[in-house]
Chains A and B, each alone.
Chain A
Amino acid sequence: MRKSALQPPRPSVRYVNPRFQGPAVLAFTAIITIGGVIFWKLVDSEFQWVFPHAAIRGHYTFDSAYDIVRNLLSWHLAGLFFGVFLTGSILVLLLIAATRYGIGKAVDSLRMSANGDLSTPTGTGPIGELDRFGKKIDAARSDTLTSLQKIRSEAAALATGGMSPEEFRLRWDELKHRIRTIAP
């Protein structure tokens, strides 16, 4: 029997997180649109005088209108390309830097949690989605800390004694059950 028959191929899952990808898409769209508008305004204003000027000059050594505006158009297209690409690159680098910072803080927070620090805030940064993610981590850590503190105080209270064997046994079993609920 072929391997594929035994093990069906795992479907390719492409997660889309609009809260994370959406602002990036909007920012890139804004850059392209602004670049296009600037290009349009500049080229249009140049076209308004280049062709009448060429008509008045009188020496018609060109075959088409393209020959008149070749250099002008090349420079403006190059400007559009570099303007959009460089601004987009800066946006990419800022996005990556923010992700590195925010996720880096989340990783540090989880590592600190493994060492017992469940109360220092994660502080993932100002970007909406990363900030929300940091708060989720903090909420999970906070829940764990609350649970551990309750168990600890109950264990300390039981250890001091001064209760009937029946009540002690009941609370002992309850405590065991509570401990089982930590990171189930």
Chain B
Amino acid sequence: MSGPQAAGDAPLVQGQYVFGLLVRLCVNTAGGVGILFVILYLALSRSLPGDYAGIYHALRNLSPFLRPILAVSVLVYALLACGSTAALCIYVLHKVAGPLYRMERVLDQYRSGVPTRTVSFRHDDQIQPLAHAFNQWIGTLHRDRHRWLATMKDAERHCLQDEATCRSEMEAALRKIAEDMARYH
């Protein structure tokens, strides 16, 4: 299936997109934890002194020495992981945020009376059915408007005949339009 009908029936958020997001999150988290591991490994893997007394004293004094190293390594992890996850969020979520922003602009333009054209999102954007539903609504309004104007134009043609026929045809057209508009509530 392709075309507008397919866009209308497409899922709002595709499973592949969600899976991709989870995989990227997994890689991102693993990268952050990996960096934390490397920092701690480098800090802890230095050889201890060779003699018994040296090792004893080194181990006794290691805890206070490791405290700032641990704090800094966790801080580095947090900064790197937060930075990369923020970038990931902005990059991946723009496929939802972008169309939403676009639709907001279209709705603002519609309300301000600017001529409304059909909306289409980028190929790999999510929430495609939103554009389809909006186009469907605007399309219906356009068709109705054309029909009402055509009805009025048809009635005006009778003005080439006598005045009474013209007026009665116009009134009939207006009644038809009012009835037709009654479906909007």
Contact = CB atoms under 8 A, between A and B. Distances in A.
B104 A136 contact: yes
Interface string A62-91: 111110110001000100110011001100
B6 interface: no
Contacts of B55: 55, 60
Interface string B10-50: 00110000100110011001101100110011001111100
Given A60-B55, A100-B13, A110 B149 contact: no
A25 B130 contact: no
A84 B82 CA distance: 11
A131 interface: no
B41 A17 contact: no
A137 B18 CA distance: 26
Interface in B142-185: 142, 144-145, 148-149, 152, 163, 167, 170-172, 174-175, 177-178, 181-185
Given A15-B101, A107-B130, A114-B140, A156 B178 contact: yes
Interface of B: 12-13, 18, 21-22, 25-26, 29-30, 32-33, 36-37, 40-41, 44-48, 52, 55-56, 59-60, 62-63, 66-67, 70-71, 74-75, 77-78, 81-82, 85-86, 89-90, 93-94, 96-98, 100-104, 107-108, 110-111, 113-116, 127, 129-130, 133-134, 136-142, 144-145, 148-149, 152, 163, 167, 170-172, 174-175, 177-178, 181-185
Report the 7 A-B pairs with minimum CB-CB distance, sorted nearest first.
A15-B98, A17-B97, A55-B59, A110-B133, A183-B141, A66-B44, A159-B174
Interface of A: 13-17, 20-21, 24-25, 28-29, 32-33, 36-37, 39-40, 43-44, 47-48, 51-52, 54-55, 60, 62-66, 68-69, 73, 77, 80-81, 84-85, 88-89, 92-93, 96, 99-100, 103-104, 106-108, 110-111, 113-114, 116-119, 129, 133, 136-137, 139-140, 143-145, 148-149, 151-152, 155-156, 158-159, 161, 165, 168, 172, 175-176, 179-184
